[in-house]
Amino acid sequence: MKVGVFPGKFLPPHRGHITAILRAHALCDKLYVVISKRTQEDGQLCKSAGIAYISGVLRQRWLSQELQGLGIEVLLQNEDAMAPFPQGWGAYASLLKQTVPQPFGVIYGGEESYREGHCRYFPGIEYKVLDPQRTQWPISGTEIRNHPYLHWDYIAGSARPFFARKVLITGPESCGKTTLTRKLAKVYCTSWSEELGRDYQHDVVGGNGDLFDLEDFNRITHLQYEQDLTALRSANKVCFFDTDAVVTAFFSQVFLGQVASRVESFIDPAKYDLVIALKPTVPWVADGMRELGDQATRELSFDQLMALYQSYGFDVSNFCAIDAPDYYQRLEDCIAAVEKSLYDNAGSAI
């Protein structure tokens, strides 16, 4: 039985990795993918690219998603105590033999330059190099970390939700949130998550807000969270969210005078890369379910909503406030804000 090992950082996994792993899998009877975790070095690589830290466990989850059902085992190897290469070669060789739960006869990789070290430190174990020129998928983890949106198509599907820019469109009722969210998703050929509280109010509560109880708001928050995750999984570089748990907390307050118990556990100021706050400067549109219609109340609602964000730890001064009085300009201003978020921050495509 031929047992093989495919080691790597996979920071993050991409098509080049996945294809090479699948080729290796076809060349042996049992394959182990071993993720090298070096907390400090990995953290520095992420930091210098301006992206959040990608932990070893996260990479293990991503690769496990990609490779499940094939009999390939994905293992995590902690190399924190190891010296950097080339001094670390000896320690690396013994650690790899401990990590892999059975003796192996071949190590697969794409680096010709590692051959000498492998021959020396893994005597009797074959070193098989696959696509060393990266001709099929000319991409590296470094390029993806530095320019994720430019190299989006190469990023493994499981890792895309991590890189997708998350844009929340918020504001009080009748500011054009839902239409703007849909339009932005269409402009960017991507997914979005619509506010489901209104459908819930219609379908479950019968349209009458007076019949809400606290458990309804807990359920709305949970359902919204699941829907957000689904949208994120199919995002193309950016994903738009029509509401969030702070808005649900706000309406829980409006209808019942208190925030339902589980709503707050879904509030996460770190979830969004950009928050667009729509001011009530377009005309009110009555739709039979809206409650807060006169202009003074709309403005008060906006201020109360922003205060609620602040109280939950959001940096409201960083929100992109949209106050144009017409829908054309509001769309233009939102597109400009999204462009800036996508290309002026980490992963500049320029």
Ligand X SMILES: NC(=O)c1ccc[n+]([C@@H]2O[C@H](COP(=O)([O-])OP(=O)(O)OC[C@H]3O[C@@H](n4cnc5c(N)ncnc54)[C@H](O)[C@@H]3O)[C@@H](O)[C@H]2O)c1
Question: Which residues would be at the binding site for ligand X (CB under 6 A)?
Answer: 7-10, 16-17, 20, 36, 85, 92, 109-111, 114, 117, 131, 134, 137, 139-141
DSSP assigned state of 155: B
- Separation between Cα atoms, residue 51 and residue 144, nearest integer Å: 11
Phi, psi of 243 (to 5 degrees): -165, 175
HEC-encoded secondary structure of 299-336: HHHHHHHHHHHHHCCCCHHHCEEECCCCHHHHHHHHHH
* Terminal Cα distance for the chain, rounded: 49
Contacts of 55 (CB under 8 A, 6+ apart): 37
Q: How far is the CB of 122 from ligand X (least distance, A)?
A: 10
Q: How many alpha carbons fall within 13 Å on the CB side of residue 242? A: 24
- Residue number with the shortest CB distance to ligand X? 16
Is 129 or 223 the residue whose CB approaches ligand X more closely?
A: 129
Could you tell me the CA-to-CA distances from 31 to 25, 79, 102 in Å, in that order?
6, 21, 11
Q: How far is the CB of 123 from ligand X (least distance, A)?
A: 15
Is 111 or 344 the residue whose CB approaches ligand X more closely?
A: 111
Rg over CA atoms, the chain = 25
Query: What b/e sequence results for 38-54 when a residue is b if at least 16 CB atoms lie within 10 Å of its CB, and e otherwise?
Result: beeebeebbeebebeeb
As to burial, measured by CB atoms within 10 angstroms (0-12 exposed, 13-18 middle, 19+ buried), residue 13 is buried
Q: How far is the CB of 286 from ligand X (least distance, A)?
A: 56
Unique residue bearing structure tokens 């792993």: 21
Q: How far is the CB of 67 from ligand X (least distance, A)?
A: 14
Q: How far is the CB of 308 from ligand X (least distance, A)?
A: 43
Please list the residues that pair with 322 across neighbouring strands. 278
Is 140 or 253 the residue whose CB approaches ligand X more closely?
A: 140
Q: How far is the CB of 149 from ligand X (least distance, A)?
A: 18
- Separation between Cα atoms, residue 325 and residue 78, nearest integer Å: 56
Is 106 or 276 the residue whose CB approaches ligand X more closely?
A: 106
Q: Is 147 annotated as a binding residue?
A: no
Is 17 or 160 the residue whose CB approaches ligand X more closely?
A: 17
Give me the amino acid identity at 296.
A
Is 7 or 347 the residue whose CB approaches ligand X more closely?
A: 7
Is 117 or 172 the residue whose CB approaches ligand X more closely?
A: 117
Q: How far is the CB of 15 from ligand X (least distance, A)?
A: 7
Residues at the annotated binding site?
Answer: 14
Residues at the annotated binding site for NAD(+)?
Answer: 14
